[in-house]
Structure 1
């Protein structure tokens, strides 16, 4: 699908963000391994979390859906049924990496597959530590899907310093550790998303400059009874759109404000963005707030590489914001972007350059020479079938001098099915 966009004469309105994708995945997976039954409200309808539900059904988990309410009968650690066909994770790296941890820890014979994009993303980072624990797991060329898992002869406790800041890697190891008699310990020096620890109530304590997190069979796995908050990663596109468009006034309702996710919020504030929070509360174990966004004059920034793990998924739209800042902005330490659904550094460089932005692509980041008066040229943007590329291009096009087009725009359904409808509503209000 080719989506046509028009410059935003104004940008105003109230939006309810789609349910958080990262939390939806985990809520379903953790409900399945609990001995109790769970009711999850506001479960994401996006393609990726639906892949997680489909895989769990193949494993014998009873799941009932009523709108965005999902009821899951927990089978416990030892109740999974070996699937009769491959577990299709679709485009979802979270599904494949977290489910691999559970299946490998449980020793369930299975094969995990994915689409072309997912099959090109490295899984070596989870295969290696899971093997060290005694799991029988392998991948194509020892690195890629399909992932094959066989029964094991018992798990070994593992003390594992994370080589990179990755919530998926951390979660995969901790989930496998739940099947071991002795604690598995994950040492995290650079913070990453902490939804797994929060929702499972795993023990952690300070360790050096970071923390150490433990999991084992002694951990009691709680039911997952809560309402999934709005997806902060989705809200990030409107934080930028509202900031760069003159006269914009946006209200975003019930947005998840987990501190391990909101890096771009504080980065944009440092750049001069004008945000106001209200109605702050706790949903399950996650903080939520309403956010008001108004247009602002943005200043350039040299992004501290230590902040990258906290905003890795939001970096593409942050690059859009930098195009309208008054001066030179620098991103370094973001080479992980090259290993996402597409090479997001190269993809964003092409998107920004095609709009006429002055950029310098680096191996691990980008230099962007911003201008508050920058007016993107009308262009036809490639999305590379990557939802975040499509949405970043759309936000950029709101400041364009004419109509733009986004190729393969349906890919936004991976995380934000209502995106194009919301964009239309805000620009027509």
Structure 2
């Protein structure tokens, strides 16, 4: 368990960085490439542990996946062609891999066992088990619907119309992926729009998928055609350098090639409402996804009260937004965040404890946090943070340390490799630029 102490910045952060490829898009590119017939080429794939777990699982079910220089090449088995894996599929810490692959397996005549690390094994899978069971899939899960679990797919599966009880792109995607190999039309009704990478990419690969109001439909037994995909920079990863530049006085940082899909960009809207100086340059489309270069300058932030309807567009960015609020002027209140309690950790409780450990004034609410900001002044720092195997907790507190009076110790920095392997190197480069 490698610990790390992050020291305060010794001056403004300056320079340009490229964040890793979007994690959500990387997962889906590998999965759909494996479901196409022919060779899919992927540029900019995130090579973090979560995505590599997806690649290993697709290989175990018959796809050929190779890295050649800067590109990844996937030779797929076609829709309906997944093979019985010889051993359990080890998902590591990746909830996205697990839930989406459960959907793929659900409509194939194979049985797959999913296992994961300690953190993933504590996360509930019932929200995916419920709709897939309605399609005829059989599950044997650990108590409370957790890993390890066994999925026995059904082919042909039964098309369903399913209303999401909570806004979840992972559940939506699992049902749509199950619908790929299911005769007829499978429909998902989502009460609040969630990230739409699955729909965009399914359409790009040639599936018949469409939206009418809040209903997303897919026609099954599709033939997917191989693609050349360029993965934009991950907006969730870009969030850390963004907040770092905002809270360290005198900073100006450019973050290149960041995906700005409107279903993912809620954080940037909230930060700008707090007074953040964030300019969007070179706006363009890459692989059907909007992309921009972000120019972020240190700013005087003011407190905010977020509308719960924005949660779906920035659910992974709340930990680092809490850090921004800790340095804002006034009391920020964040509600409607129940989903954060079932992430890699209970991100509400863990962030409350972590921020208190470095001197922030925080009140934990049943569904969120209230944070009294410093008005831009440094926090005391000096605390030791229990990261609970959560990459976003580790990175968020590393960002907070940059505007503390004393260094902040992370009990374990290894989880950062799941999504942003070069995070500490990138932040360090901004110190010396």
TM value normalised by structure 2: 0.96
- 1:228 to partner: Cα distance: 0.7
**Deviation larger for 128-137 or 212-221:** 212-221
Structure 2 partner of 1:341: 344
Q: Does 1:412 align with 2:416?
A: yes
Report if the CA contact (8 A) 2:248-2:298 is conserved: yes
Structure 2 partner of 1:169: 171
Tell me, in whole angstroms, the C-alpha distance in 2 between the residues paired with 1:221 and 1:188.
25
Structure 2 partner of 1:356: 359
Structure 1 partner of 2:93: 91
Report the 3-state secondary structure (helix = DSSP H, G, I; strand = E; otherwise coil) of the residue aligned with 1:148.
Answer: strand
Structure 1 partner of 2:135: 133
Q: Deviations over 1:47-102 (max 9, x none)?
A: 00000001111111111111341111111012221011001111100111001100
Structure 1 residue aligned with 2:267, among 260, 264, 268? 264
Structure 1 partner of 2:120: 118
Tell me, in whole angstroms, the C-alpha distance in 2 between the residues paired with 1:16 and 1:157.
42
Distance 1:181 1:328, change over 3 A: same
**Deviation larger for 215-224 or 59-68:** 215-224
Q: Deviations over 1:203-233 (max 9, x none)?
A: 32333xxx21112325442423111111110
Report the 3-state secondary structure (helix = DSSP H, G, I; strand = E; otherwise coil) of the residue aligned with 1:106.
Answer: coil
Report if the CA contact (8 A) 1:63-1:73 is conserved: yes
Structure 2 residue aligned with 1:422, among 423, 426, 431? 426
Report the 3-state secondary structure (helix = DSSP H, G, I; strand = E; otherwise coil) of the residue aligned with 1:367.
Answer: strand
Tell me, in whole angstroms, the C-alpha distance in 1 between the residues paired with 2:250 and 2:151.
55
List gaps (5 residues or longer) in structure 1.
none
Q: Does 1:206 align with 2:212?
A: yes
- What is the 5 A alignment of 1:1-400? 1-8=2-9, 9-141=11-143, 143-152=145-154, 154-201=156-203, 202-207=208-213, 211-377=214-380, 378-400=382-404
**Deviation larger for 129-138 or 249-258:** 129-138
- 1:168 to partner: Cα distance: 0.4
Report the 3-state secondary structure (helix = DSSP H, G, I; strand = E; otherwise coil) of the residue aligned with 1:296.
Answer: coil
Structure 1 partner of 2:406: 402
List gaps (5 residues or longer) in structure 2.
none
**Deviation larger for 63-72 or 243-252:** 63-72
Report if the CA contact (8 A) 1:107-1:135 is conserved: no
- 1:374 to partner: Cα distance: 3.3
Report if the CA contact (8 A) 1:21-1:49 is conserved: yes
Tell me, in whole angstroms, the C-alpha distance in 2 between the residues paired with 1:107 and 1:100.
13
Tell me, in whole angstroms, the C-alpha distance in 2 between the residues paired with 1:66 and 1:153.
35
Tell me, in whole angstroms, the C-alpha distance in 2 between the residues paired with 1:205 and 1:143.
30
Tell me, in whole angstroms, the C-alpha distance in 2 between the residues paired with 1:426 and 1:142.
44
Tell me, in whole angstroms, the C-alpha distance in 1 between the residues paired with 2:30 and 2:130.
25
- 1:151 to partner: Cα distance: 4.1
Q: Deviations over 1:180-219 (max 9, x none)?
A: 1111100112011100000011532333xxx211123254
Report if the CA contact (8 A) 1:10-1:246 is conserved: yes
